[in-house]
């Protein structure tokens, strides 16, 4: 706001690029620039010669050719247009590129840049948390190369890329979220991470504080795909306490046992990181549906361990694929190894669906879902119904619907059978037909995916 140039001429003139030519390779301009926050403030104060969209477009246009230098001769932020200018990047000496765009270029462009491709979306549903260890260690690894320079870019260089730059400053300089944000804004005035990203950066600040003070309790992660649109990118996602954003540590009181005992144990992979004991326990369910789960988990642990252990302390890794009860640390977390608590079952469904689509390519045959209803008040008696509809879903029973994409176990609200026993029986029934992934659906809270499959069999 204290911009003399802005006070001395019209608002619209003040935010337009200067007529004087600028050298194309300038990585950040010395003169003050209006930020997107200031655009909103001017609008609130009644300065409205042009529309809000035009004002913001004008501010963004100032940075269309700017590669902002965040850390001297090392870390840069730009938009997609700058990142695609290979000649420009080589002139700047860029060696490493982090692409945050949700739509990635699949083809190798033949350049020598070392790239990290992240299919991130700039919306409140995106969670940067499991990516932060990967990003900071990718940037740290660049320091092994003499004169290396790292560029982080997204579509406009406003939210996603700036959020990751802030996260790195917090890690590398021990600066707070506020101070790191201030530094990036000083270098790139249009820096404006969305609200969800800001909340996640504050959580990152808390996590870094615990790491540096060596006060971190054992922490639980799950091996899961990033998102439905990016199902081939695997992550170790931190598990949060049900209905909260609190990380699950060993010190937390478990949820009510009566509420979770009926939920089946996992069909995926969980990792327990105990920084006090410098150990990692990777638990892979005997019924795991993830290909090469231990290798995936091992690779994804590397950046996390590098963040948690600044000094190259040797960390012992234990692999377990047995009954939970046989291992004390797993018994301590047993209550939390339930996929439904984190919608982990739905996350695994993304990969199953992608795999099924891939396997079915080239085939013109499509099969209708198979519908089985539980007969009587005991398990083991599933009757195939050839012509079914919603009336077959009775509240005192259970049903299975099998489909090449995924299978569901539907449980009626008044079904008297133990859910865990029902799940195990339904899983055995599905295996007879070559289906391994089984998603539980409860009467009255069915997902859209369930109804989509169910209605396709009408």
- Residues annotated catalytic, as ranges: 154
Cα atoms in the 13 Å half-sphere on the side-chain side of 287: 19
Cβ count within 10 A of residue 214 = 9
Burial class (CB in 10 A: 0-12, 13-18, 19+), 195: exposed
DSSP assignment of 127-188 equals --HHHHHHHHHHHHHHTTSTT--EEEE-SSSSSHHHHHHHHHHHHHH---HHHHHHHHHHH-
Q: Return the DSSP state at 190.
A: T
Distance between CA atoms of 338 and 333, rounded to whole angstroms? 10
Please report the DSSP string for 194-225 in residue order: -HHHHHHHHHHHHHHHHHHTT-PPPEEEEEEE
Classify each residue of 12-26 as buried b or exposed e, where b means 16 or more C-beta atoms within 10 Å of its C-beta: eebbeeeeeeeeeee
Q: CA geometry: angle at 228 spanning 225 and 232, to 5°?
A: 45
Backbone angles phi, psi at 226, to 5 degrees: -60, -60
The per-residue DSSP string of 55-114 comes to HHHHHHHHTTT--EEEETTTEEEE-HHHHT-HHHHHHHT--EEEE--SS---S------E
Residue 91 has, within 13 A of its CA and on its CB side, a CA count of 12
**For tokens 């699949």, what's the residue?**
106
């Amino acid at each position: 706001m204290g911009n003399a140039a802005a006070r001395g001429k019209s608002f619209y003139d003040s935010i337009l690029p200067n007529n004087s030519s600028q050298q194309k390779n300038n990585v950040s301009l010395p003169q003050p620039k209006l930020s997107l926050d200031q655009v909103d403030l001017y609008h609130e104060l009644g300065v409205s010669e042009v529309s809000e969209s035009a004002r913001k477009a004008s501010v963004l246009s100032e940075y269309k050719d700017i590669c902002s230098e965040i850390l001297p001769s090392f870390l840069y932020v730009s938009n997609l247009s700058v990142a695609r200018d290979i000649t420009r990047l080589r002139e700047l000496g860029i060696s490493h590129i982090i692409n945050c765009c949700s739509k990635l270029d699949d083809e190798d462009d033949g350049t020598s840049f070392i790239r990290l491709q992240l299919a991130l979306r700039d919306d409140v549903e995106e969670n940067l948390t499991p990516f932060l260890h990967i990003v900071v260690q990718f940037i740290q690894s660049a320091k092994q190369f003499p004169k290396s320079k790292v560029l982080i870019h997204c579509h406009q260089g406003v939210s996603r890329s700036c959020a990751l730059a802030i996260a790195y400053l917090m890690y590398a300089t021990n600066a707070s979220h506020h101070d790191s944000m201030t530094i990036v804004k000083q270098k790139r005035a249009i820096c404006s991470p969305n609200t969800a990203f800001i909340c996640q950066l504050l959580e990152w600040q808390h996590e870094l504080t615990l790491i540096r003070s060596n006060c971190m309790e054992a922490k639980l992660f799950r091996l899961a795909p990033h998102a439905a649109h990016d199902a081939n990118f695997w992550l170790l996602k931190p598990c949060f306490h049900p209905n909260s954003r609190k990380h699950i540590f060993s010190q937390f009181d478990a949820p009510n046992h009566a509420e979770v005992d009926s939920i089946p144990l996992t069909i995926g992979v969980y990792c327990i990181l105990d920084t006090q004991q410098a150990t990692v326990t990777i638990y892979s369910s005997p019924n795991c549906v993830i290909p090469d789960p231990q290798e995936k988990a091992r690779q994804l642990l590397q950046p996390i361990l590098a963040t948690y252990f600044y000094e190259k302390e040797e960390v012992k890794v234990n692999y377990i694929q047995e009954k939970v009860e046989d291992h004390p640390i797993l018994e301590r977390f047993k209550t939390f190894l339930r996929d439904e608590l984190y919608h982990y079952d739905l996350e695994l469904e993304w990969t199953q669906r992608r795999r099924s689509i891939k396997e079915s390519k080239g085939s013109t045959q499509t099969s209708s879902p198979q519908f089985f209803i539980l007969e009587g008040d005991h398990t083991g008696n599933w009757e195939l119904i050839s012509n079914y509809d919603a009336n077959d879903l009775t509240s005192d029973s259970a049903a299975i619907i099998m489909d090449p994409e995924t299978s569901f176990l539907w449980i009626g609200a008044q079904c008297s059978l133990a859910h865990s026993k029902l799940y195990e029986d339904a899983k055995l029934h599905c295996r007879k037909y070559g289906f391994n992934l089984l998603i539980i659906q409860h009467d009255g809270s069915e997902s859209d995916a369930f109804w989509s499959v169910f209605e396709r069999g009408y």
